[in-house]
């Protein structure tokens, strides 16, 4: 009991370091680093002492076994058999110890010795399979897991073997085959949470959104907090709504609204989903909670600033954006956002200064070039705006080229060159869904060119 209490105390020290490290000052981190070094030395000392004890125990067992084998009585024979079993148990314990110490080559050696004498020891074979896997011997590991999945008498060992097979197949992105292995694990042991989660992940990767949602909801019913499962549910629902926009599904309780209690990764995924669906106020709330959890992350303050701008305007957003830039002064996207907000607040001079500074640091920064084109257009510098937009047409990226055509189309609209504008908007269409204004501009061009029902020049070539 005393040794359990001692190890619990060591675990508590590690947990405290893990919790306090992100918010500690330099002196605190130095103190905790010294504490970690002390714990590392203590751990090494424990391992060394344990190995000495195991070797001594094995020697004593061997000596006693040899001594007892000299006896001629049946009782001595029975005791020898018991000592042999004890020796095999010692091999198992040593292999298990090495495994948990992540010394997988040593673990593999001990489990191999064990299986020579006790080939039906299922737990030993399971550990042997995992040791082979972590030593990089995948084919040998597959053979062990397949053997156990077919022959093991223990439901637990059989289910774990099916799950291991599924994980190995999933690493090769064979999602259907992996899902079948996880289903076999659940048929053997229906309350196996790891296999349930893995099956839901396979469904999602295979595009089966409905099955992924139903499976991960079963998993969430049995767990209190699991950010990976929560993120998986959010992504599955997002996929389902992409496939069927009319679908409605009630989120698990913890995901119905952003909450402070959620993990940072879950909040970040929720913010992404809300932004894509145009639910800006909810996205803004996610970033507020993230700022409490991750106050030193620039991307959090940038997300909060951007959504606050959409909700409440520039005055609310600019102080938050300056915080993001302070934390990540080399992030040109953050600086672009600052310039873009200034642009829409009417500060064309300030916006131009920001975009120009960005382009001096990176002449290929597409967002800043796009911002500069917009500023030049608003200031009536059509030749410069056109020159900058035409340079985008030389890019290898199709989205950047589409953006160049989009800007040239808008410049042509401003100059009432409708035929030219339509040609550029047609070139920009079909390459990306981000330029949502393109269909509206095509409609405008068609109307100005006198075509019925907004028919474009491309439409007029189709047979009637």
Q: What is the pLDDT of residues 427-436, one digit of tens each?
A: 888 644 467 7
Q: What percentage of the chain carries pLDDT values higher than 70?
A: 88
- Tens digits of per-residue pLDDT, 67-92? 656 554 454 455 545 545 666 777 78
Contacts 24+ apart (CB under 8 A), 345-353: 345/313, 345/314, 348/375, 348/378, 348/379, 351/375
Angle (deg, nearest 10), helices 227-243 and 193-205: 30
- String of b and e for 225-253 (b: at least 16 CB within 10 Å)? ebbebbbbbbbbbebbbeeeeeeeeeeee
* Whole-angstrom distance, CA of residue 27 vs CA of residue 255: 39
- Both tokens of 249, joined, read 């599904």
Name residues whose C-beta falls within 8 Å of residue 397's C-beta, 6 or more positions apart in sequence.
none
Alpha helices (runs of H) in 244-397, residue ranges in sequence order = 264-276, 280-293, 298-312, 314-327, 332-344, 348-361, 366-378, 382-392
Q: Is the pLDDT of residue 463 over 50?
A: no
Q: Pick the closest to residue 437 from 401, 399, 416, 407 (CA basis).
A: 407
Whether the CB-CB separation of 171 and 138 falls below 8 Å is answered with no
Q: What pLDDT is stored for residue 405 in this prediction?
A: 92
Helix (H, G, I), strand (E, B) or coil at 335: helix
- Tens digits of per-residue pLDDT, 341-377? 999 999 999 999 999 999 999 998 999 999 999 999 9
- String of b and e for 293-319 (b: at least 16 CB within 10 Å)? ebeebbbbbbbbbbbbbeeeebebbbe
- Tens digits of per-residue pLDDT, 177-186? 999 999 999 9
Average pLDDT over residues 178-203: 94
Q: What pLDDT is stored for residue 156 in this prediction?
A: 94
Per-domain residue ranges of the chain: 380-456
- Both tokens of 202, joined, read 């396979």
Q: Is the pLDDT of residue 63 over 90?
A: no
Whether the CB-CB separation of 446 and 455 falls below 8 Å is answered with yes
Q: Pick the closest to residue 369 from 338, 415, 400 (CA basis).
A: 400
- Among left, alpha and beta (phi > 0; psi -120 to 50; other), residue 450 is left
Q: What pLDDT is stored for residue 452 in this prediction?
A: 59
Average pLDDT over residues 42-67: 73
pLDDT tier, 296 (very low <50, low <70, confident <90, very high otherwise): very high
Q: What pLDDT is stored for residue 187 in this prediction?
A: 95
pLDDT tier, 464 (very low <50, low <70, confident <90, very high otherwise): very low
Higher pLDDT, 226 or 376: 376
Neighbours of 355 (CB within 10 A): 28
Roughly how many angstroms between the first and final C-alpha of the chain, as a whole number?
A: 89
Q: What pLDDT is stored for residue 80 in this prediction?
A: 47
Q: What pLDDT is stored for residue 172 in this prediction?
A: 92
> Which residue in this structure is represented by tokens 């010394």?
103
- Tens digits of per-residue pLDDT, 298-342? 999 999 999 999 999 999 999 999 999 999 999 999 999 999 999
Q: What is the mean pLDDT of the chain?
A: 85
Alpha helices (runs of H) in 362-417, residue ranges in sequence order = 366-378, 382-392, 398-414
């Amino acid at each position: 009991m005393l040794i359990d209490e001692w190890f619990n105390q060591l675990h508590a020290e590690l947990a405290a370091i893990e919790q306090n490290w992100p918010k500690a000052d330099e002196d605190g981190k130095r103190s905790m680093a010294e504490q970690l070094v002390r714990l590392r030395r203590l751990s090494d000392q424990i391992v060394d002492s344990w190995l000495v004890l195991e070797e001594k125990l094995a020697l004593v067992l061997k000596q006693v076994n040899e001594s007892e084998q000299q006896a001629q009585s049946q009782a001595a024979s029975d005791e020898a058999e018991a000592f042999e079993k004890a020796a095999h148990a010692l091999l198992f314990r040593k292999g298990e110890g090495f495994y948990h110490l992540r010394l997988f080559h040593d673990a593999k050696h001990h489990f191999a010795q064990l299986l020579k004498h006790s080939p039906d020891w299922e737990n030993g074979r399971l550990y042997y399979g995992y040791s082979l896997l972590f030593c990089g011997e995948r084919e040998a590991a597959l053979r062990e897991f397949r053997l156990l999945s077919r022959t093991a008498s223990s439901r637990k060992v059989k289910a774990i073997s099916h799950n291991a097979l599924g994980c190995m197949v999933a690493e090769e992105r064979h999602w259907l085959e992996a899902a079948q292995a996880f289903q076999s694990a659940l048929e053997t042991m229906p309350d196996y949470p790891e296999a349930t989660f893995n099956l839901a992940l396979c469904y999602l990767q295979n595009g089966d959104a409905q099955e992924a949602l139903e499976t991960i909801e079963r998993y969430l019913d049995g767990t209190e907090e699991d950010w990976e499962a929560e993120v998986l549910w959010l992504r599955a629902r997002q996929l389902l709504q992409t496939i069927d926009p009319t679908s409605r599904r009630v989120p698990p309780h913890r995901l119905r609204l952003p909450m402070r209690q959620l993990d940072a990764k879950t909040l970040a995924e929720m913010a992404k989903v809300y932004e894509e669906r145009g639910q800006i106020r909810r996205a803004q709330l996610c970033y507020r909670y993230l700022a409490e959890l991750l106050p030193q992350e620039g991307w959090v303050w940038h997300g909060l600033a951007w959504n606050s701008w959409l909700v409440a305007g520039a005055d609310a957003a600019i102080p938050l954006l300056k915080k993001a830039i302070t934390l990540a002064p080399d992030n040109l996207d953050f600086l672009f956002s600052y310039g873009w907000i200034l642009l829409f607040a009417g500060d064309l001079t300030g916006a131009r200064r920001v975009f120009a500074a960005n382009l001096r640091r990176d002449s290929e920064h597409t967002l800043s070039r796009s911002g500069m084109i917009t500023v030049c257009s608003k200031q009536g510098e059509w030749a410069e705006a056109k020159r900058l937009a035409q340079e985008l047409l030389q890019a290898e990226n199709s989205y950047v080229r589409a953006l160049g055509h989009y800007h040239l189309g808008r410049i042509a609209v401003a100059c009432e060159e409708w035929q030219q504008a339509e040609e550029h908007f047609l070139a920009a269409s079909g390459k990306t869904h981000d330029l949502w204004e393109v269909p509206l501009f095509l409609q405008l061009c068609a109307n100005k060119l006198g075509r019925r029902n907004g028919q474009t020049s491309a439409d007029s070539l189709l047979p009637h």
